Amino acid sequence: MYELYYWPTIQGRGEFVRLLLEDVGADYVDVIRRPKEDGGGGDALRILINTTRHFAPPILRDANITISQTPIIMDYLGTKHQLTPANEDARREALRLSMLLADFLVEAHDVHHPLAKELYYEDQLDEALRRSLSFRDVRIPKFYSHLEEMISANGGYLVEGGLSHADFSLFQIVEGMRYAFPKSSARLESDRPRLVALHAEIAARPNIQAYIISDRRIPFNKNGIFRYYPELDG
Amino acid sequence: MYELYYWPTIQGRGEFVRLLLEDVGADYVDVIRRPKEDGGGGDALRILINTTRHFAPPILRDANITISQTPIIMDYLGTKHQLTPANEDARREALRLSMLLADFLVEAHDVHHPLAKELYYEDQLDEALRRSLSFRDVRIPKFYSHLEEMISANGGYLVEGGLSHADFSLFQIVEGMRYAFPKSSARLESDRPRLVALHAEIAARPNIQAYIISDRRIPFNKNGIFRYYPELDG
């Protein structure tokens, strides 16, 4: 049984891991979301970090192995559940794309928090407005075009050889972008059909379908990494 | 023989790879820095990206293998040159720390460019000043404390079992921080003796010493990721 440690009220980076665990039907506990009396809550995270010296969640525990950094967790879980390519070049490609999507996630966060994580959005609103222009006009197109090109080159998936863990990360990025930047997403998806199709294929997988409508899926909200502020979209 | 593709006028992310190549005495070409008539220049990068579909430099070519994302390059080179731990848990830890240092590098960049890469520093100076407070008071201490703790727990190196590629990345981060944030570095290093000692140990390695004083080492400058703006330090 796996133990996932991640912030209990947002999708955030933990959601990439949750999606993979759900798809493969893994037996896992979302530890911090459990009641304190069942070993959950923030204390559980503090104890884990103090004993294993990880920097930040998500942290995955598998018996005596603990892993952090989302792409490394995805590579690890994918290897165990046939979603990491066995071929070493393709394995590195899946990891590369997982890291690229993690880089994109940082930029999607920093749009609404360009100055400091500790400050409120309202205290950096003007700066967020300025950063959103660059994000929408330069950054999203650059990333989306690269993803579309990869999917086109690899027969409908990000990496040669078929479905991999990176495709689940792509699904989550598209989900988050549709929530936080609906207008930009509609515009940019219109001429990137393969990206849209791959998102739809992941969404249609039975375990993903069941998960999305379950109460295990935390709704997007204004504490997460993807946040919907209409003034930043366009 | 390796081929490294990276921007020719800055240390940037390419420097992590250069340091490792230099330390192991690898035969390599810094392709874009070569004259155009010898296959160098920006055209060489464009051709490589068009044919291999990588997102951004640094890109390492080793015969028919091409790799991007700095931590993946470090893991790959480390494996070939005995600087990636053979033990799988320790290998993942070295990769995790390499990724953590890459995350820190993004923050060190965004201090002087909080709004957009495409804008000049002077056009986001006020925002940079505000972001620098958080970077100095919250972010650097958080990262540096974690690194100090890891070195303390692992006998003088970041990862259990001795020297690894992650230690070279740490060296470069400390170098960059001393250049860009000399006052903050002096203050924060004063009670992190293990981090200072590990940096010094890497600096004293013969091949690194020779490299640092060679003209292959591009000096820090105001086009790089680490930039010295006195108003952002303190």
Phi, psi of B88, deg, nearest 5:
-65, -40
Confidence at B86, pLDDT banded by 50, 70, 90: very high
CA A229 to chain CA mean position, Å? 19
* Distance from the B202 Cα atom to the nearest Cα atom in chain A, whole angstroms: 24
Asked whether residue A165 is domain-assigned, the answer is yes
Q: A22 φ, ψ to 5°?
A: -65, -45
Residue A186 CA: distances (Å) to CA of A106, A136, A180, A182 = 21, 12, 12, 6
Q: Residue B117 — very low, low, confident or very high, per pLDDT cuts 50/70/90?
A: confident
- Is there a single domain that holds both residue B116 and residue B166? yes
Whether residue B76 is predicted with pLDDT greater than 90 in this model: the reply is: yes
Confidence of residue A117 (pLDDT cuts 50, 70, 90): confident
Interval A100-114 mean pLDDT: 96
Type of residue numbered B96: R
Touching check for A110 and chain B: CB below 8 Å?
Answer: yes
Our CA-based measurement puts residue B206 at a distance from the nearest CA of chain A, in whole angstroms, of 32
CATH code, domain carrying A162: 1.20.1050.10
- What pLDDT is attached to residue B118? 85
Q: Which domain holds residue B186?
A: 88-205
For residues B75 and B158, state if they share a domain. Answer: no
Closest chain B residue by Cα to residue A119? B134
Instruction: Give the closest of B68, B89, B134 to A116, CB-based.
Output: B134
Based on the domain organization, do B115 and B178 belong to the same domain?
yes
Contacts with A, B 70-109, CB within 8 Å: 71-72, 76, 89, 92, 95-96, 99-100, 103, 106
B-chain residues within 8 Å CB-CB of A92? 67, 72, 76
Same domain membership, residue B111 and residue B74? no
pTM above 0.95, yes or no: yes
The residue of chain A with its CA nearest to that of B154 is A53
| Closest residue in chain B to residue A138, using alpha carbons only | B118
Q: Which of B80, B97, B112 is the last residue of a domain?
A: B80
List, for residues A50-103, the tens digit of each pLDDT value. 999 999 999 999 999 999 999 999 999 999 999 999 999 999 999 999 999 999
The helices-and-strands tally (H runs, E runs) of chain B is 10, 4
Interface test mutation site (partner A, options B99, B124, B154, B159, max chain A beta carbons within 10 A):
B99
Listed residue (B59, B169, B173) closest to B107, CA to CA: B173
Query: For chain B, what is the domain count?
Result: 2
The tens digit of pLDDT for each residue in B23-73 reads 999 999 999 999 999 999 999 999 999 999 999 999 999 999 999 999 999
State residue A167's pLDDT score.
98
CB contact (8 A) between residue B53 and residue A153: yes
Q: Is any Cβ of chain B less than 8 angstroms from the Cβ of A21?
A: no
Please name the member of A53, A95, A103 whose beta carbon is closest to the beta carbon of B72: A95
Task: Note whether residue B216 is domain-resident.
Answer: no
Complex ipTM: 0.96
Q: With an 8 Å Cβ cutoff, is A149 touching chain B? A: yes
Domain-located, residue B226: no
